[in-house]
Structure 1
Amino acid sequence: MRNFLREWQGELKRVFTGSADALPEWVPRLAEGNDAGYHLPGSAVWAVHGSMTPIVAGIRALLMQSLHPAALAGVHEHSDFRADPLRRLARTIQWIFTVTYGSTAAAEEASARVRRLHAPVQGIYSDRDGSVHSYSANDPELARWVHLAFVDAFVTSHEIWGGSIPGGPDAYVREWAQAGRLMGVLDPPLTVAEMRRQLDNYYRNGDLLADSRVAETVGFIRNPPLHPLLRPGYRIVFAGAVYSLEPHYRQMLGLKIPRLGPFPLPVRLATKVTLGVVHFALGRGPGPSEQAARSRLRRLGYLDS
């Protein structure tokens, strides 16, 4: 049993860090830098990103982002997500945690690096009417869609499974707007209401598309190539992400809340329990990225020693 638990914990850490027994090299570097960065302890961003709810939010964001044909074309035509999905996940986690916990220079450097990687991601796609358009991953409007889907996923997941957010959900949207600006989003929304209004405009304007490519992507997200020990928990968390979606987006994605005959399964409770188990496995208390940030903040006098 002890070996089983150790292997399970190791595989869990490998998913989030790329290694079962070593931190990514970028994590200790979060202790470097000469300013507080964009976010501080007690902020809405630290509260949300330091919880377990981003596990659900990340899946939800991927599902939502796949509905924009330009975003999906970029992933399918310029990404190795099928061959090495964990590498793509690790890069995303690095960017999120660097903007969350790093110095201003680190956050800006990480965002610039992502934008450089996005620079060659260009091509054409067909909309729902069959018209052909060009796309670029660094296009401000496409970046807006990705940002909105991200923020909506993280706010919604935390509202369902997380604790309170300092300043409320609007504070998270306002604070994480800086991440949107770093990625080229012009005038990102500053409130939940405005964020969801902008998000739904894509739906109302007919900019979203559910086709065979979306179905293929949803199938991959539903059944990624995870270690067998992680699959039962992942199935529950995936169901939680589906549960959190607005019904019209869920319908577009061809997804349903799991049911046993006429009765819906207790997805909300099962997801909460699963996140609690993951939290226990990863270790309670601040994660390594937060610890590194606190070390920098103590050095600079923002926190007591």
Structure 2
Amino acid sequence: MEAIRTGDPGLFGPDSVTWQTHGDPMMWVAGIRALYLQALHPRAVRGVIQNSDFRHDAWGRLMRTADFVGTITYGTTEAAEKAGARIRRIHSRLSATDPDTGERYPVDEPELLLWVHCAEIDSYLHVQRHSGFPLTDAAADRYIAEQRVSARLVGLDPGEVPCDQVELAAYFEKVRPELAARTEAREVDDFLLRPPVPRSLVPARALLWRRVANLAYASLPPYAHELYGRPAPSPAVVARRLCLTGTLLRCVPAGLRWQLPPKHIIRAMRRLGPGSRPAPYKVGR
């Protein structure tokens, strides 16, 4: 029998699909896919490029995003709410300029926040499901509905956020005419293919990172490949590669993977007991 949970389960808790899914190593591939997809919204990516030293602090940005997701998933309710408040506070101070019209606009416009949110959720679901993680349609719908909590934390009205796969697909169909691979998207693409690393790590970048980035790119929807102007393997080939990568990464013991800082899952298990351990088989419960 599982140990009785006595600590604060946080905003999602061990019984959620989110809890089980976010502990999987393929979330890193999904995160890179999300960056590729998010960069195709000119107004959204412009806010990132104009308000951060993306090329020189992209690794820091990736790690901060991963830390935020880990905190709101496995942290206490207080920690998650504080993380959300911090994000909202930062975004409220930032704006971007449209170079074509001169328009100045806030980066926390609801439509921009919604795009970033949906691109992330779609990427997490797509990569997980095609890499062998056991997510049924019902579980996928539960996950999308649960993620309205994270949408609220960044400043969105949960009632305006897709709550299942049908609504998520309808959202992407609606927003597609606004997407384009402009200068800022090319910068993101270039960084993800050739991120700056010390000279000693250049071979590793070519051998390992490039493969991961290419897999994330290949897993994008066909319209994204058309916008970027770079071809990708067939969906069947991509699915096989995702499944193989997922199998290999999941061979690394979870206890070892979760020891990497900042150890969100380890701390959550200490707080709630060993029965709170994330595991794919728990999704169907």
Rounded to whole Å, the distance in 2 between the matches of 1:255 and 1:147 is: 25
Among 64, 70, 87, the residue aligned to 2:60: 87
Aligned residue for 1:138, secondary structure, equals coil
Among 44, 49, 53, the residue aligned to 1:71: 44
Rounded to whole Å, the distance in 2 between the matches of 1:234 and 1:64 is: 18
CA RMSD of aligned residues (A): 2.6
Deviation, 1:102, is: 0.9
What residue number does 1:185 align with?
156
Among 124, 136, 141, the residue aligned to 2:106: 136
Query: Greater helix share, 1 or 2?
Result: 2
Rounded to whole Å, the distance in 1 between the matches of 2:126 and 2:179 is: 20
What residue number does 1:48 align with?
21
Deviation, 1:165, is: 2.8
Deviation, 1:171, is: 1.0
Rounded to whole Å, the distance in 2 between the matches of 1:201 and 1:291 is: 40
What residue number does 2:123 align with?
153
What residue number does 1:29 align with?
none
Deviation, 1:148, is: 0.6
- Unaligned ranges ≥5, structure 1: 1-32
What residue number does 1:237 align with?
212
The residue correspondences of 1:115-134 to structure 2 (distance < 5 A) are 115-125=88-98, 130-134=100-104
- The alignment's TM-score, normalised by the length of structure 1, stands at 0.77
Q: Is the 8 A contact 1:143 1:183 kept in 2?
A: yes
What residue number does 2:178 align with?
207
Range 50-59 or range 232-241, more displaced: 232-241
Deviation, 1:242, is: 2.2
Rounded to whole Å, the distance in 2 between the matches of 1:278 and 1:86 is: 21
- Unaligned ranges ≥5, structure 2: 1-5, 278-285
Deviation, 1:273, is: 3.6
- The alignment's TM-score, normalised by the length of structure 2, stands at 0.81
Rounded to whole Å, the distance in 2 between the matches of 1:217 and 1:284 is: 31
Deviation, 1:179, is: 0.1
Aligned residue for 2:105, secondary structure, equals strand
Rounded to whole Å, the distance in 1 between the matches of 2:133 and 2:116 is: 25
- The superposition leaves residues 163-220 of structure 1 with CA deviations (integer Å, 9 ceiling, x where unpaired) of 11374211110111110111112221110110121122111xx322222332232111
What residue number does 2:264 align with?
289
What residue number does 1:249 align with?
224
Rounded to whole Å, the distance in 2 between the matches of 1:213 and 1:106 is: 33
Greater relative CO, 1 or 2 (CA 8 Å, sep 6+)? 2
* Amino acid in structure 1 at the alignment position of 2:58: P
CA pair 279-81 structure 1, distance change in 2 beyond 3 A:
farther
Q: Is the 8 A contact 1:58 1:153 kept in 2?
A: yes
Aligned residue for 2:54, secondary structure, equals coil
